Amino acid sequence: MAYLIFVLGLVASVPLKFVKQSELGKNIKMHDCDTVLDDSSGYLAATFYVGTPEVAVDMFLSLNNSAFSIPFDEKEGSSRYSMSTSSTLTNVKEGTLSNLKGFTGKDVVSFNDLTVKDQEIFITNYTDNYGVIGLDLDTDVVKKTFVHRLYSTSVISDAVFSVNLRDMEFKVGDYNAGNYEDNDFHSLSAKDGWTFKLSEVDFYGNLGGLSSSVKFDFTQELIWCDSSQLYLFESYIELFYGYKKKNGRYYASCNEEDIDDFLRLDFVIQNENIYIYPRSYINYSKGTCEFLISSESSDTWILGKPLFKEYLAFFDVDREDVYLYRFNDTSFFSSYTFYILLACSIITTAAVIATKYIKGRRNNNYGYMRIS
């Protein structure tokens, strides 16, 4: 039993919460959170515990900063974190973060059974009750982040966190891909900001030999691309469906069965072939296809949630690597084609054996004579 407790203590996971924009105050001042374009969008949040006595804080996951920032309230009876109440808060100083005024300090932070006793935190008076956990790969401060502090204090053996949008799960300290372990796998080496070298893309028109970069960001609702590829995409949907722009994305009249006829988006990133299928970047509702592709171009490609609908992603903040496991195995040996060919092969082999057997029986019958 003691061994089980020790092993289980090395890994922590919680269900991801999907917080809609409509649930947040109109004057929310969350720093470095991506702009939500409409009420159907939202933030990804997980629950952490801060201070002594511990206070539960729902934290937005952000790949755009490295700070652990939380709201506070000194009013008696408040459910928020209180600087005057926490007995483990130390090193308190006035400070700023992204033009927000507040305080810096160190306090106990826990995620399930994983605890950092002196995590650097930024404390400010947010409009809403949500904090932000920064998961950016900023080499100047990455060793101060919660995940890396767990690793440097030997609480976890790998400085890794994972995001699973299929099962809506956020994990820390665990490389286990579970049911997806045997699926298509990709290993990528990141630069600052979880960006990678993009060498080729087939995005509604083949474009090879790119010398560009692409960023992975599960906090972004959309895919952002450069102007030339955006033009190809617009030309394609205009030719077959027509489109309109609204809230920074594209809409077209279509039938649900049309979705699978759209093209797969193919990317070559560090010699790895990464695919995004239509049902991951197209939402359907009442005769309308909503494309999760920004109608505004970007100098840097950004692969948002559509990528993470296809892959379970592990982010290693120490090795600066990302590991992707496809949710749906698309390898030949897992495809319907493989099983169809296998069945045909078995049937053909059985037919050949049966034919030879029947011929053999017939030959034996023709040569049969009763001995009297």
Nearest 10 degrees: CA dihedral of 128, 61, 12, 18? Answer: 70
Model confidence at 343, pLDDT cuts 50, 70, 90, reads low
Summarised one tens digit per residue, pLDDT across range 237-251 is 888 888 999 989 999
Which residue range forms the structural domain that includes residue 69? 2-172
CA distances for 198 relative to 164, 268, 300, 340, angstroms: 23, 6, 10, 36
Q: Is residue 372 part of a domain?
A: no
Same domain, 232 and 253: yes
Model confidence at 350, pLDDT cuts 50, 70, 90, reads low
> What does the angle CA 30 – CA 33 – CA 34 come to, to the nearest 5 degrees?
140
pTM: 0.79
CA distances for 266 relative to 148, 231, 318, angstroms: 33, 17, 29
Percent of the chain having pLDDT more than 90?
A: 55
Same domain, 31 and 94: yes
Nearest 10 degrees: CA dihedral of 56, 57, 63, 68? Answer: -90
Rounded Cα gap, residues 303 and 121, in angstroms: 29
Mean of all residue pLDDT scores within the chain: 81
Same domain, 313 and 166: no
* Domains in the chain, number: 3
Same domain, 265 and 152: no
Q: Is residue 371 part of a domain?
A: no
Model confidence at 336, pLDDT cuts 50, 70, 90, reads very low
The answer to whether residue 164 scores a pLDDT higher than 50 is: yes
pLDDT of residue 105: 97
Same domain, 16 and 76: yes
Q: Is residue 144 part of a domain?
A: yes
Return the sign of the alpha-carbon dihedral for residues 180, 181, 182, 185. positive
Summarised one tens digit per residue, pLDDT across range 226-235 is 887 888 888 8
Same domain, 6 and 142: yes
Summarised one tens digit per residue, pLDDT across range 63-82 is 988 999 999 998 888 889 99
pLDDT of residue 207: 55
Same domain, 355 and 316: no
pLDDT, average across residues 49-72 = 94
Rounded Cα gap, residues 36 and 170, in angstroms: 21
Same domain, 293 and 163: no
List all residues 6 or more positions away from 151 whose beta carbon is below 8 Å from its beta carbon.
157, 158, 159, 173, 317, 318
Q: Is residue 200 part of a domain?
A: yes
Same domain, 14 and 123: yes
Tell which wins on pLDDT, 95 or 205.
95
Question: How many residues comprise the chain?
Answer: 372
Same domain, 196 and 268: yes
pLDDT of residue 171: 94
Q: Is residue 354 part of a domain?
A: yes
